[in-house]
């Protein structure tokens, strides 16, 4: 299906007014008009009851993985901080990475630009692994602060192989120095979940 996905959310200042129920109905009507037979979504723990009430079904769960210990370490010379928007040169990596899964959200460089560079209310940090002019991986990170508790979070990670994965985790740990925790959510069915525990 070539149609663009529909994204919907309610700003925290406008929650508990029934807006999400109406927004959900609107999105579902639009999806049906496009011929979509199934929609997917990722919801927080506090949203699950409401989403089930609106007719959604739980397909799987996420594991919360975290690291508390950081030390200064050298960053792989193939990794650089990406300051500019993504270009089509990242698409072959995305196709290769996504091709390993039985089910995933298909994304391309335009999606990543919308998600990580075009949002005015968030600041993301992107680190990219390249070799011989080819993009072999990237990680997207963000800082959070809740009172005195400060953390770093892996928003997204994509990689060609375990060597690139390890280099991206390493730069994520360097990024997280001075924070209380570095964390990430992973699907329980992810073939890479075990790598986070090494």
Contact call for residues 1 and 34 (beta carbons, < 8 A): yes
Cα-only R_g, the chain: 18
Percent of the chain beyond pLDDT 90? 42
pLDDT at 1: 41
Mean pLDDT for 21-38 is 82
Taking only the tens place, the pLDDT of each residue in 113-153 is: 999 998 767 899 999 999 999 999 999 999 998 888 999 99
Which residues, other chains included, contact 63 with Cβ-Cβ below 8 Å and sequence gap of 6+? 185, 186, 187, 188, 193
**pTM of the shown model:** 0.76
What H or E segment, with its residue span, contains residue 85?
none
Each residue's pLDDT tens digit, 165-176: 999 999 999 999
Per-residue pLDDT averaged across 61-76, rounded? 84
Query: To the nearest whole number, what is the mean pLDDT of the chain?
Result: 85
H-type alpha helices, the chain? 19-33, 48-53, 91-98, 109-116, 162-175, 193-196
């Amino acid at each position: 299906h070539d149609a663009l996905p529909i994204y919907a959310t309610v700003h925290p200042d406008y929650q508990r007014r029934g807006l999400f129920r109406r927004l959900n109905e609107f999105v579902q009507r639009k999806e049906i008009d496009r011929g979509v037979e199934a929609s997917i979504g990722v919801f927080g723990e506090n949203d699950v009851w409401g989403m089930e009430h609106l007719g959604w079904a739980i397909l799987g769960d996420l594991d919360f993985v975290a690291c508390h210990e950081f030390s200064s370490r050298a960053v792989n010379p193939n990794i650089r901080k990406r300051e500019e928007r993504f270009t089509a040169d990242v698409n072959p990596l995305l196709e290769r990475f996504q091709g390993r899964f039985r089910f995933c959200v298909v994304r391309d460089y335009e999606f990543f630009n919308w998600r990580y560079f075009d949002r005015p209310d968030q600041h993301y940090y992107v680190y990219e692994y390249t070799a011989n002019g080819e993009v072999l991986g990237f990680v997207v990170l963000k800082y959070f602060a809740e009172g005195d508790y400060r953390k770093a979070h892996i928003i997204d990670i994509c990689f060609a192989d375990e060597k690139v994965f390890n280099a991206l985790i390493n730069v994520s740990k360097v990024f997280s120095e001075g924070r209380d925790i570095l964390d990430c959510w992973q699907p329980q069915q992810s073939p890479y979940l075990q790598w986070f525990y090494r």
